[in-house]
Amino acid sequence: MNYLSINDIDSLSTWVKEAIALKKQPKKFKTLGNDKTIGLLFFNNSLRTRLSTQKAAMNLGMEVIVMNFGSEGWALEYVDGTIMDQGTSEHIKEAAQVISQYCDIIAIRAFAGLVDKELDEAEEVLNGFKTYASVPIVNMESSVGHPLQALTDAITLEEHNFKNNPKVVLSWAPHPRALPHAVANSFIQMMQKQNAEFVITHPEGYELDPNITKDSKIEYNQEKALENADFVYVKNWSSYTDYGQIKSQDPNWQMTLKKLGKAKFMHCLPVRRNVVVADEVLDSEQSLVIEQANNRTYAAQLVLKKILESNEN
């Protein structure tokens, strides 16, 4: 099995329960991954994903090889039939087959470039490995999705009495740089599997891919969207329609305690304080961001455990 998107979860509620059980006994399966190696391939920088996935693999007794492709390797070619006389030194066909021989699982981080929508949506890095590798692939954030984060978020919601049809709001926030859509996309897809009143709020012009948002409610008025929210997930993303552009840095969209009301505050981190969200929110007891980061370990560990177990059969 692969873990490429939130759609690779067969039963979200079961996975969440299993992850919470793992969190209570993280070393229970400490020999499951013995003699198995995971390769963590980073095409972009990372803090939480890198450390938590490494920790998750070690909790399962796996060997971990971390490789930063940019600084330690070289540029890969993804296009079929290319005459490789330019900047790329190795084709994904070879790289993926070769790494599959050294690693029992390959995990990949490769962000959207935010220049060419079609190219980003083709997910050439993730799909290249999926196509040519002979071992399971785990998505550590691709152009389009960040399903380890979304699983983490589902775990965190569950730990905070996510039941009785709560109201969950995904609220766009300003940011000085153009950011990808991956976290928002996967959070939305995860929420669409939940029993909840789910609302997305953002300025006009920040509509996400309609194939992702589907019939999820979009409310352009943030104040209205936040009314009686139980959980508020804040995240910046750049424009999808005017691809990769910054259309607004309106500070009025920053999350504050007043706007948050009694809701719990969530964010995937890293977060820019007093731009995306006010100090008062992050430093309050309503903030779940540190718990979310902790749950990254157990989300990853559950995914790796399932892959290791599926390969045993």
Binding site feature residues for carbamoyl phosphate: 46-49, 74, 109, 146-149, 268-269, 296
Shortest CB 167 distance to a copy of itself, Å: 26
Instruction: Please list, in sequence order, all residues whose beta carbon lies within 8 angstroms of the beta carbon of residue 246, skipping any fewer than 6 positions away.
Output: 175, 177, 178, 238, 239
Tell me if 144 contacts a copy of itself by CB under 8 A. Answer: no
Shortest CB 10 distance to a copy of itself, Å: 28
Shortest CB 254 distance to a copy of itself, Å: 10
- Residues, the chain: 313
CA distance 5 to 141: 9
Tell me if 176 contacts a copy of itself by CB under 8 A. Answer: yes
With beta carbons less than 8 A apart as the criterion, state whether 265 and 277 touch: yes
Q: Which of 39, 136, 180, 244 lies at the binding interface for a copy of itself (CB under 8 A)?
A: 39
User: Which helix (H) or strand (E) element contains residue 199?
Assistant: strand 197-201
Sign of CA dihedral 134, 136, 142, 145: positive
CA distance 283 to 257: 10
Site for a copy of itself in 180-199 (CB under 8 A): none
Tell me if 71 contacts a copy of itself by CB under 8 A. Answer: yes
Tell me if 98 contacts a copy of itself by CB under 8 A. Answer: yes
C-alpha torsion 21→26→29→35, nearest 10: 140
Tell me if 27 contacts a copy of itself by CB under 8 A. Answer: yes
Please, what is the angle between helix 12-24 and helix 147-159, to 10°? 70
The residue ranges that bind a copy of itself (CB under 8 A) are 27, 30, 35, 37, 39, 42, 45-48, 50-52, 54-55, 58, 63, 65, 67-68, 71-74, 77, 80-86, 88-91, 93-95, 97-99, 101-103, 176, 269-275, 279, 282-283, 289-290, 293-294, 297
